[in-house]
Amino acid sequence: MPAPILPVAHTIAVPLFEAKPAGAGGAPFQSVFSEAVKKVEAFQHNAQLSADRFLNGEGEEIHKVALAAQQADLSFQMFLQVRNKVISAYQEIMRMQI
C-alpha cells in the first residue's frame, strides 16, 4: 500500500507590496521598491535551498521543492509586471505636455 499523501503545511502569504499608511510622508518609493526586491530574492533563495536539500537527500519532499519553485516564479512574475506598469506610467507622464 502506498504511503498516504500528507497535507502541505499552510504557508503564510506574504504580499510583495504592503499598503503603508500615508501618515508623515509615507514610505519613499525607493524603500518600497527595495523591500519588494528583497522579498523576491528571499523567495528565490528559499527555492534554491529547498532544491539543494532535495538533491542532497536531506529529506526534502519533491512537492515542497515544486511549491517553493512555483512561489519564487510567481513572485518574480508579479514583480516584473508591477515594474512594467511603473515604467509605463512613468513614460506616460513624461509624454504629457505642461
pTM for the structure as a whole:
0.66
CB 69 within 8 A of CB 51: yes
Per-residue pLDDT of the chain in tens (98 residues, 90 and over written 9) = 555 555 545 444 555 555 555 554 556 888 888 899 999 999 999 999 999 999 999 988 999 999 999 999 999 999 999 999 999 999 999 999 87
15 φ, ψ to 5°? -70, 145
Distances in Å between the alpha carbon of 60 and those of 12, 33, 36, 44, 71?
Answer: 19, 32, 27, 17, 16
> In this predicted structure, what is the pLDDT of residue 11?
46
Question: Residue 80 corresponds to which cell in the numbers above?
Answer: 516584473
Helix extents (H) in the chain: 29-55, 62-95
**CA 63 to each of CA 4, 20, 53, 70, 86: distance values in angstroms, whole numbers, following the listed order:** 14, 34, 13, 10, 34
